[in-house]
Amino acid sequence: MGENYKGMAFSLEERLQLGIHGLLPPCFLSQDVQVLRVLRNYERQKNDLDRYILLMGLQDRNEKLFYKLLTSDVERFMPIVYTPTVGLACQQYGLAFRRPRGLFITIHDRGHISTVIKSWPEDDIKAVVVTDGERILGLGDLGSYGMGIPVGKLALYTACGGVRPQECLPVMLDVGTDNEELLKDPLYIGLRHRRVRGKAYDDLVEEFMKAVTDRYGMTCLIQFEDFANANAFRLLNKYRSEYCTFNDDIQGTAAVAVAGLLATLRTTKNKLSDHTVLFQGAGEAAMGIADLIIMAMEKEGTSREVATKKIWMVDSKGLIVKGRSSLTHEKERFAHPHKEMKSLDEVVKEIKPTALIGVAAIGGAFTEQILKDMAVFNKQPIIFALSNPTSKAECTAEQCYRLTEGRGIFASGSPFNPVTLPDGRTLYPGQGNNSYVFPGVALGVVACGMKHISDDVFLTTAEIIAEQVSDEHLKEGRLYPPLQTIQEVSVKIAVKVSWFLTITDVFYRIFSKN
């Protein structure tokens, strides 16, 4: 009853029709008054985890009021239902667990996943967010505790993109966990064995994709979320031309990062092709961002070969260079001729990048020396500390601004407070939040019933987000539009994506017939 329940906002006529007259106090309280009551309870909570539990409880019993509250101040509540608090909530999911939300499908359900999906009461699902819990934010393998991520993502589908909550389905594919602490945790809610891999895993995902589309149609959007690198790339490449699917960690993160870079160009007064980008990290986020940067550079007229040479990556073994042992296919594309180097500090001094992007979930990786060096090489160094949650950020906004003498152009994955500099200027750090991307893309895809999503959609999305950043925002240090405007941004993305996807689909059908 959650999505239809209005609490004391039910009129007398509605109470009589529903047979609940007498089950509620006689007073009629509007939703605005009920929001006030929730706010008072919210303010009494001592920490963000308690605030998360309060909001999830509200979502369970009065979904309309939950979304009324969420949309009343998106900037305030998003860090609770999404990053960074959702990461803490996933770590403590056994403690925070009140009532199951979403569908739990396990490796032992192989052979009858369609039956499990039939147990979901809604017949008209437009969007699914699925995880296997192996790489939750920068926190690693959280197994079934990772269900907090699809639940949080889909709450933003509704709050930011207007997709109806009853048309959204969060899914956990539980294949076990390699997290020893969870296997010993008496509160753990998932399978208590190590992760199943190989053919059995692939068969599970294959059967899941088919079962979802058999019940909900080929236009049902399936968003992959927080899969480990090897599976994320593999599954995206396997299914992107077969189903209506995208991977938010690869493509959503790419769009939001490139949006920030495109906005930055209005401050640096040059082209993206003029920049040298160094990534700390070479996983799915780095690869996704790098590929979209190359697409954007190609759009400026730079060849793919030249654009690729402007991108360097550092992984756990050091700088990715030609001839280095054990490079994956993805990493080989960004391996340039150069001597091997281990330390990020040394690499920064050697490569002298104009932009430094952190996506390796190593808190504090951008040291004082690195930030100072970036300010020596560049009049306006671009520093993106994109790892989530806040504890995994490569540096704080204050460190960036202070150590670059206020010249650094900063964005982060989790929110940071405004920073006042010694010269009296106050800068508002840009939050490169994927919620600028996936709700709008999802709304556009769902609205026009598309069957495939190309990478061009994410470059278009990045351009739209960057266009919403005013000159005034840039002066304040913002690289993204204010979160309060996120619904308007989502609608603009949805309109452009719908138009773009419809044209693409028409061409696809014409050429496939020929």
Catalytic residues: 82, 153
Residue 343: alpha-carbon gap to chain centroid: 29
C-alpha–C-alpha distance, residues 112 and 105, integer Å: 10
For residue 278, give the H/E element and its range.
strand 277-280
For residue 384, give the H/E element and its range.
strand 382-385
User: How many CB atoms neighbour CB 254 within 10 A?
Assistant: 30
| CA distances from residue 81 to 74, 153, 222, 442 in whole angstroms, order as listed | 10, 9, 21, 19
Query: Which residues, 6+ apart, have CB-to-CB distance to 181 below 8 Å?
Result: none
Half-sphere exposure of 175 (CA within 13 A, CB side): 22
C-alpha–C-alpha distance, residues 400 and 167, integer Å: 42
277 in Cβ contact with 354 (< 8 Å):
yes
- Give φ, ψ of 352 to 5 degrees: 50, 60
C-alpha–C-alpha distance, residues 288 and 305, integer Å: 17
Looking at residue 247, its amino acid is N
Q: Is the peptide bond preceding residue 84 cis, with omega within 30 degrees of 0? A: yes
Query: Widest CA span of the chain, in angstroms?
Result: 78
User: How many CB atoms neighbour CB 447 within 10 A?
Assistant: 17
79 in Cβ contact with 88 (< 8 Å):
no
Looking at residue 99, its amino acid is R
C-alpha–C-alpha distance, residues 209 and 200, integer Å: 14
C-alpha–C-alpha distance, residues 79 and 97, integer Å: 19
Residue 509 has which token pair?
A: 């059908």
C-alpha–C-alpha distance, residues 113 and 118, integer Å: 9
